Amino acid sequence: MRKQSIMPRLRRMFTVHNLVIGIPMIWLFALTAAPLLLVLNISLAHMDITSVSSLWHWADNELTLKFNFGNYLYLGEDSLYFDTYVSSLKFAALTTLYCLIVGYPFAYFISRAPAHLRTMLLMLVMLPFWTSFLLRIYAWKALLADNGVVNNGLMGLGVIASPIHMMHTSFSLTIGMVYAYLPFMVLPLYATLVKLDGRMLEAAADLGASPFKTFWLVTVPLTKRGIIAGSLLVFIPAFGEYVIPELLGGPRTLMIARVLWDEFFSNNDWPMASAVTIVMILLILVPMALFNRYNDETRLGEKS
């Protein structure tokens, strides 16, 4: 093959077309892929006295690469980490399940409401979502405290005689998580439910299916995309949630983001924190790939 001179090749590379592609490419690469590669790099290092050790070493014309897998091995040995990963997965799964149980009928009834009401109901779902997440979680502290609104209310009504301890338990944590993530479940569900053709349900009923059977065999499969998108939109962030466990969870509630936070800010062990991060990413990689495929609104990867 004949070698081309460099100028035309450069000119072809720097077209307006490529420049327009280059801008978002460089911006996103610098802030997503590059930092993650660095985290992977640091997770294989170890902590020197004040800084992170270098993975490669050049001396006497010899390049030495040193990978320290100690952090990962330690993750496997210390049951605290394992238990925390499991417990985070469990809380995320429970949150997703409860959001689905509460959110599916909710989205369904909104989508069946008369058209003029629908817009207003949707706006009512969105409105809390726009007001500070942090403040809404903080509000649950006043609601669930021993002398809080819920306990006082129940005692006032004579349902209970003495306050139930709810704050800083897995109950308050779950309530907070479901509360915070419910809109993320409802919106994709609504988007698929509203497109549901009512004639399909009528046809099923005409053919003798009971309402339950119609729901299970027609409605649910037709809204599969929304169910999957909504569940992932809840599950993935819930798995890595920090603020809610910190404000509403118990002192011993195991959530991986809290462990990560402590490892980073209190223990100052960056390689260990990086290893915890990498394993976290590995655990959500499959759900994230699924999300890439299934989310209707954000289907960036394929042509419409």
Partner 1 sequence: MRNMYGRSLFGRSWLIAVFIFLYIPIVTLVVYSFNDSRLSTVWTGFTFKWYVDASHDRELIDGLIISLKLAFMSASLSVIFGTFTAFVLVRYGRFKGRGLLASMANAPLVMPDVIVGISLLLMLVALQKWLGFPERGIGTILLGHALIGTSFATVVIISRLREIDLRLEEAAMDLGCKPFQVFWLVTLPLIASALVSAFLLTFTLSFDDVVIAAFLSGPGSTTLPLVIFSRARLGLDPSINAVATVIIVVVSIGVIASSLYQLRAERRRQREVADAYAQGKS
Q: Residues 260 to 289: which contact partner 1 by CB under 8 A?
A: 260-261, 264, 270, 273-274, 277, 280-281, 284, 288
Shortest distance, position 127 Cβ to partner 1, whole Å: 6
Q: Which stretch binds partner 1 (CB under 8 A): 4-12, 59-67, 78-86, 239-247?
A: 239-247
Q: Are 61 and 200 in contact (CB under 8 A)?
A: no
Asked if residue 230 lies in contact with residue 186, where contact means CB atoms within 8 angstroms, the answer is yes
Place of tokens 């002398």: 147
Among 156, 208, 251, 301, binds partner 1 (CB under 8 A): 301
Short-list 225, 224, 220, CA closest to 209: 220
CA distances from 253 to 83, 99, 169, 245 (A): 11, 20, 8, 7
Determine if 28 is a binding residue for partner 1 (CB under 8 A): yes
DSSP string, 152-177: HHHHHTTS-SS----TTSHHHHHHHH
Distance CA(270)–CA(262), nearest Å, equals 11
Closest separation in Å from C-beta 80 to partner 1: 17
Question: What is the footprint of partner 1 within residues 156-215 (CB under 8 A)?
Answer: 179, 182-183, 198, 201-202, 205
In the Cβ-directed half-sphere of 165, how many Cα atoms lie within 13 Å? 5
Q: Which of 14, 29, 82, 216 binds partner 1 (CB under 8 A)?
A: 29
Beta carbon of residue 295, minimum distance to partner 1 (angstroms, whole number): 8
Token couple for 39: 């985290």
Q: Which stretch binds partner 1 (CB under 8 A): 7-15, 57-65, 79-87, 232-240?
A: 232-240
Q: Which of residues 109-148 bind partner 1 (CB under 8 A)?
A: 109-114, 121, 123-128, 130-136, 138-143, 145, 147-148
Q: For residue 194, what are its two tokens?
A: 């509203």
Kindly state the smallest distance separating residue 69's Cβ from partner 1, in Å: 19
What tokens does 249 get?
A: 């969870």
- Residue placing its CB nearer to partner 1 in the complex, 8 or 301: 301
Cα-Cα end-to-end distance for the chain: 39
Query: Under rule CB under 8 A, how many of the chain's residues touch partner 1?
Result: 94
- Residues within window 81-110 making contact with partner 1, judged by CB under 8 A: 102, 105-106, 108-110
Single residue of 166, 185, 232, 275 touching partner 1 by CB under 8 A: 232
Least Å distance, CB 269 to partner 1, is 12
Cα-flanking dihedrals φ and ψ of residue 295, to 5°?
Answer: -70, 120
Nearer to partner 1 among residue 2 and residue 252 (C-beta):
252
With contact defined as beta carbons under 8 Å apart, do 241 and 235 qualify? no
Strands 56-59 and 62-65: antiparallel
- Provide the minimum distance between the beta carbon of 158 and partner 1 in the complex, in angstroms, as a whole number: 18
Among 13, 38, 86, 203, binds partner 1 (CB under 8 A): 38
What are the residues facing 59 on neighbouring strands?
A: 62
